[in-house]
Amino acid sequence: MNMNFRHIFVLLFTLIVSVVFTDSRAQKAVLSLDSSSIKIGERVQLRLNVALPKTATIYWPAIADTLTSKIEVAYKSKVDTNSTSRQEFVNYSQNLLITSFDTGFHYIPPFIVHYSYSGDTSRHQLLTDAVYLKVRTVEVDTTRAIRDIRGPISAPLTFSEIAPYLGAIAIVGLIIGLVWYYFWRKRMNKPLFPMMAKVVGPPWEIALQNLVSLEDKKLWQNGKIKEYYSELTDILRQYLFQQHGIEAMEMITSEILAAYDSAGLQPDGRAILSYILVQADYTKFAKAIPQRSENELSMTYAKQFIEATKPVSVPSEIKNNAKSPLLTPDPEIEA
């Protein structure tokens, strides 16, 4: 009877010890280095792994920017969890990148991890082993001559690097072009943005309508003499281009008259056209101030010029007859 009781006691004691030993082996904290030796300034990975039952609450240690006065923490990953071979356990891990700028053997102290169980007010702890890190200096070949530090290597420019400069040049060029265009239009006494008139009839009819509109503006009556003659000559220039194909918009007075002669138009109309263009040149460039009668006469002659040079429908029975003479300005104007 005593022998049986003794056997039962030994069996129970062995079972309890094995359970406790197995549980203590399952609950563990491990600190490890990828490499125990690095060059000065290099980085190495330090891993902290903790295995605990799923029912336990873990209190992860706070890791500062330095582990010791010689070891610095360059990077800390988040705490990760993954399963283990035992379903009732979970593994916690965190990776650190550490470095050192002092040569020699450096001691990394153990990490302490606390945990507790539900319903248990006491905290338990796991202690890792300490690790050592060897930091080597950079080997220098003393047999070779000392050389200067190599300068920076010049890399070729990429489009993304020069794109901002090209954009700035384009913007500056656009601004310069707009400023030049503004002053050019102002010098020509033309609006900044020319309005394209909608063609509603033959060129000669449109020209007469534009002359009537110019009269209604009463420019010269309000002291805008230069603007008056600029618009007046522009109307005639557009008429010559649209009706007779003479590129008058970009010509000076002498070129317009020469082109008029070459076009074979009514010779009597040349004197009227010459009077208007010369009068406009005096006003715009010589800053002459025409009299009231001269301003009115220029408008009258402009209308007469268009009426005299506009196309005329000729009946078939008189197509071969001579054309009737045109009205011409006074001799003093023609001179």
| The pLDDT of residue 177 | 92
Give 106's contacts (C-beta < 8 A, 6+ positions apart).
68, 70, 71, 100, 132, 133, 134, 135
The one-letter code for the residue type at 151 is G
CA–CA separation, 146 and 131 (whole Å): 38
| The pLDDT of residue 127 | 92
Task: Kindly state the tokens that stand for 116.
Answer: 């507790």
DSSP classification of residue 263: T
| The pLDDT of residue 335 | 36
For residue 221, how many C-alpha atoms fall within 13 Å in the half-sphere facing its CB? 6
Query: What dotted CATH number matches 24-136?
Result: 2.60.40.10
3-state SS of the chain: helix, strand, coil percent to 5?
45, 20, 35
| The pLDDT of residue 328 | 52
Q: pTM for the full model?
A: 0.40
* Per-residue confidence in pLDDT tens, the chain, 335 aa: 455 656 566 556 555 544 444 454 468 899 999 999 999 999 999 999 999 998 899 999 999 999 999 999 999 999 999 888 888 899 999 999 999 999 999 999 999 999 998 888 889 999 999 999 999 998 877 787 777 777 788 778 888 888 899 999 999 999 999 999 888 877 766 677 766 545 567 999 999 999 999 989 899 899 898 999 999 999 999 999 998 888 888 899 889 888 888 888 877 888 888 889 998 888 888 888 888 888 888 899 889 888 888 887 655 454 445 444 454 555 444 43
* Furthest-apart CA atoms within the chain: distance in Å: 163
Task: Kindly state the tokens that stand for 138.
Answer: 């950079």
| The pLDDT of residue 153 | 81
CA–CA separation, 298 and 301 (whole Å): 5
| Residue indicated by tokens 């009231």 | 292
| Residue indicated by tokens 């539900």 | 118
| The pLDDT of residue 331 | 47
CA–CA separation, 248 and 273 (whole Å): 12
Q: Where in the chain is the domain with CATH 2.60.40.10?
A: 24-136
**Distance between alpha carbon 29 and the CA centroid of its chain, in Å?**
54
Task: Kindly state the tokens that stand for 296.
Answer: 């009115």
CA–CA separation, 175 and 203 (whole Å): 37
Which candidate, 138, 129, 51, places its Cα nearest to that of 101?
Answer: 138
| The pLDDT of residue 322 | 44
